[in-house]
A and B are shown apart, each in its own frame.
Chain A
Amino acid sequence: MAETKRAVERPLSPHLGIYRPQINMVMSIVHRICGSALYVGTILLAAWLIAAAMGERAFAMVSEIFGHPLGKLVLLGYSWALIHHMLGGMRHLLWDTGRGLQPRTADALSWLTIIGSLALTAALWAAGISLRGGL
């Protein structure tokens, strides 16, 4: 009776693939992706700090990498992920208290997370560029 020992394929509850994307679930996924990106991106912070501690040459090397257009693009993405994860986290802290869970409010908060993070990131970089007269 080898067949009976095989794991039974039980039906699973419907998962992501079956739903029309909604702002809450998209923001939930983006929150996770941002969190993972920030996790890996701590290497950037560690590299910056350790280079500053090691000396002039190491710092010049790291500065050159961060100053390269690709480096700046990574930093732009990192700053957005940081701000987005922070705003998303604030939303979750509010939800933890039981507030803001009505469908309309929850949707509005999710939209606020994405729009707010894009606006704040744009404002941050615009301020930096205008203060220094260029990228």
Chain B
Amino acid sequence: MSQRTPLGKVRGLGSAKGGTDHFWMQRVTAVANIVLVCFLIGLVFTLAGADHGTVKRALARPEIAIPLLLLVLSGIVHMRLGMQTIIEDYVHSEGRKVAALVLNWFFTILIGTTCAFAVLKLTFGA
């Protein structure tokens, strides 16, 4: 049995180069979300209780649809990364962990596609 530690095995081989990607994307989307979430709060505040026609017309306007699409994009990246951290912290069995990470991808992409589809449908009509 080898006495070498995992660190000893990789020492001197150089970094994997992708190590800071998770951290960096979490921060970039966090900064974007500060602006975009404030926009969402303002939008929901304005449209709360409004009838369907008003909401439909509002969501179809480019100055609303574009930030909404940006929020969906930034939001799903941020939440996928955050949930990945939680899964890796708490799910220790390898099989369940991989399954959870795959479901994390599926869920965030599903939410993102649904929201984007709705906004685009309202914008382009039909």
Q: Is the interface of B mostly helix, strand, loop or mixed?
A: helix
Cβ A46 vs Cβ B111 within 8 A = yes
Q: A86-B34, A124-B41 are in contact. Are A59 and B52 (CB under 8 A)?
A: yes
Q: How many A-B contacts are there with CB distance less than 8 Å?
A: 74
Q: Which residues of A contact B83 (CB under 8 A)?
A: 35-36, 39
Residue of B with least CB distance to A66: B48
Let me know if B30 is at the binding interface, CB within 8 A: yes
Q: Are A52 and B33 in contact (CB under 8 A)?
A: no
A63 to B31, CA, bound (A): 31
B118 in the interface, Cβ–Cβ < 8 Å? yes
Question: At the interface, is chain A mostly helix, strand, loop or mixed?
Answer: helix
Task: Give 5 nearest A-B pairs by CB, closest first.
Answer: A49-B118, A53-B118, A53-B121, A59-B52, A50-B118
Chain A residues proximal to chain B, CB less than 8 Å: 32, 35-36, 38-39, 42-43, 45-46, 49-50, 52-53, 55-56, 59-60, 67, 79, 82-83, 86, 89-90, 92-93, 96, 124, 127-128, 132
Contacts of B33 in A (CB 8 A): 86, 89
Set B49, B76, B117: member contacting A132, Cβ < 8 A: B49
10 further interface pairs, Cβ-Cβ under 8 Å (given A42-B79, A46-B114, A124-B41)? A39-B83, A42-B75, A42-B76, A45-B40, A50-B115, A53-B117, A55-B52, A83-B41, A92-B30, A93-B30
